[in-house]
Amino acid sequence: MKIGLIIILLIISCSLYSEFLTYDKVFTNLKGIKYYDNENFEDSEKKFIENSVNYPKDSQLHFNQGNAQYKNGKFEEAENAYSIALRDKNFKDKSKAYQNLGNVKFQQKDLKNAINNYRNALIEDPANEDARYNYELTARLMNRQQQQKQQSKDDKEKKDEQKEQQQQDQQQKEEKKEKEQEQQMKEQQKKDQKKEDAEKMLKALLQKEKEEMKKEKAKLNIDKAKKGKYW
């Protein structure tokens, strides 16, 4: 009889303790939600963290924590909280968690992973219009970025081609100038050679004429000596 009474008391005590734990969790969560609705995201985050630490197996608490951290700009912490929530197979708000993960990646300018998370959100719940809107918006931005990237690539290639063409034109001009200078040098050398040859020829003629005059003068002196005339 005493044993049965003790068991009943234990069962009742456990039940009361369980209700107390549930009440504490709900009360703290409601406080966090109130702070969140009033845009007091710092206190909201504190309450949600307190709850998720005390009840780590409750995926909804991690999800709420992630929402507050996202509002506080703590994107890495929010990503971690959403990821923990998504590990729970029984978590009911998977579509929203994926959507919010997409928002985190969007804020981090990681559009590829953002659109993957929005896609997962739509797989979980095709009626999630916010996720659909974000998916389409991100897809348009990615397409625009790809176009801009391709345009930048085309512009760079065009600029590189123009630069290469300018370098080729400059090289051709320099080669043409070198050839012209070389040709001018050759022509100048020819002129100098002709001048030198002409000067040598003139010098040779003058030398020859000088020698002939000497011979002529010597011949005259010989004739004068034979005739005995000296004047």
Whether residue 35 is predicted with pLDDT greater than 90 in this model: the reply is: yes
Whether residue 19 is predicted with pLDDT greater than 50 in this model: the reply is: no
For 81-91, how does the pLDDT look when each residue is reduced to its tens digit (9 = 90+)? Answer: 999 999 999 99
- Residue position matching structure tokens 């100038």: 177
Average pLDDT value for residue range 98-103:
95
For 39-59, how does the pLDDT look when each residue is reduced to its tens digit (9 = 90+)? Answer: 999 999 999 999 999 999 999
- Tell me the pLDDT band of 143, cut-offs 50, 70 and 90: very high
> Which H or E element spans position 40?
none
Q: Domain ranges for the chain, please list them.
A: 10-147, 200-231
Average pLDDT value for residue range 200-223:
78
Name the residue with higher pLDDT: 217 or 174.
174
User: What are the CA-CA distances from residue 20 to residues 15, 23, 29, 75 (Å)?
Assistant: 9, 5, 14, 33
229: which 2 tokens? 């005339």
Name the residue with higher pLDDT: 16 or 57.
57
Contact 41, 35 (CB under 8 A): yes
Quickly count: other Cβ atoms within 10 Å of residue 200's Cβ.
Answer: 10
Phi, psi of 110 (to 5 degrees): -100, 75
Whether residue 201 is predicted with pLDDT greater than 90 in this model: the reply is: no
In angstroms, how far is CA 219 from the centroid of its own chain?
102
Whether residue 186 is predicted with pLDDT greater than 60 in this model: the reply is: yes
- Tell me the pLDDT band of 21, cut-offs 50, 70 and 90: low
Name the residue with higher pLDDT: 207 or 44.
44
Give pLDDT, residue 212: 79
Whether residue 111 is predicted with pLDDT greater than 90 in this model: the reply is: yes
Average pLDDT value for residue range 105-131:
96
Task: For the domain covering 10-147, report its CATH number.
Answer: 1.25.40.10
Average pLDDT value for residue range 102-123:
96
Name the residue with higher pLDDT: 143 or 168.
143
Name, in order, each residue with C-beta under 8 angstroms of 120's C-beta and a sequence gap of 6 or more.
98
For 55-98, how does the pLDDT look when each residue is reduced to its tens digit (9 = 90+)? Answer: 999 999 999 999 999 999 999 999 999 999 999 999 999 999 99
Closest C-alpha among 81, 120, 72, 80 to residue 98:
120
Please tell me the distance from the alpha carbon of residue 54 to that of residue 46, in angstroms, as a whole number: 12
Give pLDDT, residue 9: 36
Please tell me the distance from the alpha carbon of residue 220 to that of residue 231, in angstroms, as a whole number: 12
- Residue position matching structure tokens 């690539």: 153
Give pLDDT, residue 228: 57
166: which 2 tokens? 């300018």
**Most distant CA pair in the chain, distance:** 190
Predicted TM-score (pTM) of the model is: 0.62
Give pLDDT, residue 13: 35
In degrees, rounded to 5, the angle at the alpha carbon of residue 49 between the alpha carbons of residues 46 and 51 is 110
Whether residue 5 is predicted with pLDDT greater than 70 in this model: the reply is: no
Helices 111-124/94-107 angle, 10° precision: 170
Closest C-alpha among 56, 63, 54 to residue 33:
63
